[in-house]
Structures are given as C-alpha cells and as structure tokens.
Structure 1
Amino acid sequence: MRNSTFLNNVNSLIKMHSSGLLGGEIMPEDVLIGIVQEDELMDVLTLAIALNYQRNSYKLWESVVQAYQDPETKWIFNPTIVVNSNIDELREALLLHRVGLQPNRHPEIWQRVAKGIKISSEKGNVQGLIDSVEADIALMKGIIQGLRKKEFPYLSGPKIFNYWLYVLEGYTNVTWKSRELITIAPDTHILKATIKLGLCTEEVLNGAAEDRKAVASAWKRALAGTGIAPIDVHTPLWLWSRAEFPPIVS
C-alpha cells in the first residue's frame, strides 16, 4: 500500500514528533545521557538491549543506570570482565538492581553476548566490533545474524537487531553505511500504529516472527523512493501508539 494520504500521515507524524506533539519527548534510553561515559555507552546499550526484555522499557533503563552507578555492579557492562566472570557473581550483580529478572537465562545470555563482542573485536568492545566492519550494516548483519549468531541469541533477531542499530545511531557517534538496510523494529506499539495507518491488517497483532517480518517488509515497500528510511518512523509511531493515537495534525 502506498498513496498520498498514507504518506501525508507518515510525514505529519514525523513532524508531530519533532514538534513534541506526541509527548514522551524523553525516551527510555535518555536516562543514560550525562551519566554513562561516552566510551562505555555502546557496551551498556548493547548488553542491555540484548536481553530481549519483555518489560517496561523505562524501568529497565532506570535499573541499568542504578547498576552502572553502583561500584559493586558497574563491571557487568565491561564485556571483557563479564566473559571471565563467575556466573554466580554475574547473576547476583544482574539481579541486584533488576537489570536481569530471570536468574538463569539472563546471566547466561549476558555472558554469551559479552563473549560474542570480545571475540568479534580486537578491542574487546562494541566500538571495536563496529570498527571491524567499518560501520557497514551489511557486514554487521553477516556477523550478528550469521557467523556469530549463536553468541547473540536475541540480538540476532530482526526486531532487536534493527532497534539496536537505531539506538546506537541515535545515542553514540556511529554513522552507519548502508543505512537504508535498517528496517523498522516492529514491537507491539509499532504493530498497532501500522494497523492504525492501514498498512497492515489486525492479523499481525499475533506478534509471531512472520507477522513482524511482514510489517517490516510492508514499511520497506511503502517508503521505497520517498527519502524516508523505515527506521526513521519508529519513534513517531511508537509514541503515537503509546499516547493512544491522538489525531494526526497536518
């Protein structure tokens, strides 16, 4: 589907977001700004996003800040230290400020992701991983979703992978090559907003992998040639849904 009304609505939502009309000017990850050091921000964002959290995003990142500011737990955001840590100590540190909620699964994922970062990067951190592919999304996909998929059990999934690329672009100094390869990250709010705009039917609310893939593909087709990258509509759509769909203002 692609028509003038649809594109006008998309452009209006983008403008409403930039004008602050959708509320929620403070995004969940904004809580890290001014607290997490710039050279550590990529690692903090990556490890937390890789948990595949099914929870209130604002509470997750508040927990991340608490753990980062606590000298006893800040080490969990250093991939090299995490790889060599005792799993019981990692579990205790993750659960202390509720960064992790699942006592077995979350520590195991956290350590596995840290290992994936370390072995994919000479520097042993996310900046090194990005440098190794020269910030090329196509090459990054080959590592995260291909060569090292086993080390990135959730981050390799299309929803979280694309959101991760988007967040790193928005909060760190990375400038991606092949930026058009970042597809929209279809979480529940994106699914609802997509239906509201008439781009997909309510069937996609099942939220299965194929539903999310269909939504991402629909946005890619709808925005092809418009100059709008699919990921650029993520935050406006997310906030629009979260605000319970206020009227679109042209």
Structure 2
Amino acid sequence: MPIVIDLERGKKVAKLLYNSFTTTDIHGRTGMPRDMVPSSVAKGSLGHILFITLTISINYKRDASSLWESSIKTFDDPETKYLFDPKLLHETPLEKIVEDMHRYNLSPRPEKDADIWQRVGVTFYEKWSSDPRNFFKNSNWDSSLIVKRLRTDTHTEKGETAPDYPYLRSPKIRPLWLKMLRDDAGMVELRNLEAIPILVDVHVARATLATGVIRGQFKGTLDELSEDIREAWFQSVEGLNANERPMIAIDMYQPLSHLSMHGCSNRDEIIGNCTAFNNCEARDLCIKGKIKIDKNFVDLET
C-alpha cells in the first residue's frame, strides 16, 4: 500500500516523547550534546548566543558530542576565546584561526571549518555590530523572514557574490539554530517558529517510521520522503502543549533524535525486532516490518 500519515498516532507519539524528554528521560537521556554551555558564560548573554551561533555553523558531518565539547574547551581557554568574538575574527588572519581551532579539535576539516567560522563571525561584525540580535530585530524577529534571509543575504568577496551565512543557512542547521536560541538562550522574542519545518535527518526519519506515524511501502530517497515527514509533524503537534505554550513541529527534533540514536537504531532492519524494546518509552507504539535507511535511500515495508 502507499504510505499513510497516521495523525492520531502522531499525536500520541508527540505527547509521549516530548513529555518523556522534558520530564523523565528517553533511554536514560534527557539532554543533547548541544545543550552544554561553557562554565564562563551566562545563559542568554551575547557570549552564549555567539557560542551557539558559531558552533552550530560547523555542525555538519561529525559527531555532535565531540563538536560541542571541543567548542566549550575552546571558549574556556583564554588564548582561544577570541574565536567567539566577531570583531577579533575580522582582525585575525585565517591562518591563525585555522591553527587555534585545531587546538581542541574544533575543526576536523581545518581550512573549510575555519573559513565558515570566520565568515559567519565577520558577517555579524560588519553588518550587525557583532550581535545576532540586531539581525533578528532588523527582521522583526520573524523566524520565517530570518530563514529567508539566511538563504538569500550575500556579500561581495573577491569580485564574486558569496553567502553571508555559509552552512548556518542550510536546511538542516537554520531551524535548529533558531530553536536553540529560543530554548537554550531564552530568546523568546522570536516569532513564527511554528512555521519552521522539523529538521529531517536519518534519526528523525527512523523514529517517525518506527513509531508508525508514517507507514506503508516506499522505496526512494530520504529527500523524497522528507516532505511527508515534515507534514506529519506539522499536523501531529496541532493542539498540543509544550511547557505552557503551543507545541511546534521543531519541538519534536530532539525527542525523535534521542529515540532513534539510543533506541530505534537497534532495530533489525528487515523484521523490526529491537534489542532496546523492553526499556523503550515508545514500545507500545513501535511497529514491526522493514525500515532500512542506507545513507539517503529508504526501503520501507510496514
């Protein structure tokens, strides 16, 4: 049969996972690596905002725990803390940035990571007085407009047009960045986050399929399935609450990621037996069948 979006099941999964993630745990874990904050920074301060912003700008193709741990060490070291100051990033040669980002393995891809890091910092220095909040104010704190500008704002570099926010502008990073700023840095002024779709990666896809929110038969790319996954969570969270406010689709990213990383990743890809089943918060909603995700290819029979 073709794939089906089960919204009744989606609401059950959303309530269960969100409540478990925020009050007890999912597979013994309640925090994501990116929830960590340097000891020397005040939550919600400009330093905290820049720590989140610059770190997440290179959050691609690497282990999240090691990234955030390396970033904290870099921030807490007086000799490398300048890497979180847009003005100093503007004044420092790229070669020095490459060297200092490597000290705590913040940049597995030294030149590329340093170039992204410096560009993001310099953009905020040159255009927004070193404060991302000025960018948000200029965008009327509208998340939809911020996302659009992340995609489209440019500058001239060596005679060519270049993006202001490399990687920060990517479909995977930009919603996560805004959610972190709201939830972790307390930036409650951000509006219209409900219009931002959930980040769909392998973990979100696997947990969505394993809980039967989307089921049926499908063979194709994850990119092709992503629109259905985004729509499933847009609709599933409607009418639900999250900590005394309306739940939004991107609230489900962390709970689903936890469920997949520490639970659904243990499923047998063909029949669906899972070694984490007995201790899984979502075991009553787990479905049998084939859920095989190999890089960007999905083979589903549930």
TM-score by length of 1: 0.88
| Residue in 2 that maps onto 1:183 | 197
| Residue in 1 that maps onto 2:58 | 51
Give matches, 1:93-132, under 5 Å.
Answer: 93-121=100-128, 123-132=129-138
| Alpha-carbon distance change, 172 to 211 in structure 1, aligned in 2, over 3 angstroms | same
| Alpha-carbon distance change, 139 to 83 in structure 1, aligned in 2, over 3 angstroms | same
Q: Is the 8 A contact 1:159 1:212 kept in 2?
A: no
SS at the partner of 1:26? Answer: coil
More helix by proportion, 1 or 2? 1
The whole-number CA distance in structure 2 between the counterparts of 1:205 and 1:12 is 29
The whole-number CA distance in structure 2 between the counterparts of 1:158 and 1:172 is 21
| Alpha-carbon distance change, 71 to 206 in structure 1, aligned in 2, over 3 angstroms | farther
The whole-number CA distance in structure 2 between the counterparts of 1:53 and 1:189 is 14
| Residue in 2 that maps onto 1:77 | 84
The whole-number CA distance in structure 1 between the counterparts of 2:21 and 2:37 is 21
Shift of the alpha carbon at 1:34? Answer: 4.0
Deviations 1:140-181 (A, max 9, x none): 123211223712221111111001011111111311111212
Equivalent AA in structure 2 for residue 192 of structure 1: R
| Residue in 2 that maps onto 1:18 | 22
- How many residues are treated as equivalent by the alignment? 248
| Alpha-carbon distance change, 40 to 15 in structure 1, aligned in 2, over 3 angstroms | same
Equivalent AA in structure 2 for residue 6 of structure 1: G
Shift of the alpha carbon at 1:200? Answer: 4.0
Residue 147 of structure 2 is aligned to residue 144 of structure 1: no
| Residue in 2 that maps onto 1:238 | 257
Q: Which deviates the most, 39-48 or 178-187? A: 178-187
Shift of the alpha carbon at 1:219? Answer: 2.3
Q: Is the 8 A contact 2:83 2:97 kept in 1?
A: yes
SS at the partner of 1:71? Answer: coil
In the alignment, which of 80, 94, 106 is matched to residue 87 of structure 1? 94
Q: Is the 8 A contact 1:94 1:107 kept in 2?
A: yes
| Residue in 2 that maps onto 1:32 | 37
The whole-number CA distance in structure 1 between the counterparts of 2:247 and 2:9 is 16
Q: Is the 8 A contact 1:168 1:174 kept in 2?
A: yes
The whole-number CA distance in structure 1 between the counterparts of 2:182 and 2:136 is 12
The whole-number CA distance in structure 2 between the counterparts of 1:163 and 1:8 is 23
| Residue in 1 that maps onto 2:12 | 8
The whole-number CA distance in structure 2 between the counterparts of 1:204 and 1:78 is 47
Q: Which deviates the most, 183-192 or 86-95? A: 183-192
| Alpha-carbon distance change, 219 to 29 in structure 1, aligned in 2, over 3 angstroms | same
The whole-number CA distance in structure 1 between the counterparts of 2:48 and 2:206 is 31
| Alpha-carbon distance change, 212 to 34 in structure 1, aligned in 2, over 3 angstroms | farther
SS at the partner of 1:238? Answer: helix
For structure 2, the 5+ residue unaligned runs are 155-161, 241-245, 265-279, 285-302
The whole-number CA distance in structure 1 between the counterparts of 2:92 and 2:117 is 11
The whole-number CA distance in structure 2 between the counterparts of 1:83 and 1:207 is 38
Q: Is the 8 A contact 2:151 2:169 kept in 1?
A: yes
Q: Is the 8 A contact 2:144 2:196 kept in 1?
A: no
For structure 1, the 5+ residue unaligned runs are none
Shift of the alpha carbon at 1:205? Answer: 8.6
| Residue in 2 that maps onto 1:193 | 207
Which structure has the bigger radius of gyration?
2
More strand by proportion, 1 or 2? 2
Residue 139 of structure 2 is aligned to residue 133 of structure 1: yes
Shift of the alpha carbon at 1:225? Answer: 5.4
SS at the partner of 2:110? Answer: coil
The whole-number CA distance in structure 2 between the counterparts of 1:204 and 1:120 is 45
Equivalent AA in structure 2 for residue 186 of structure 1: V
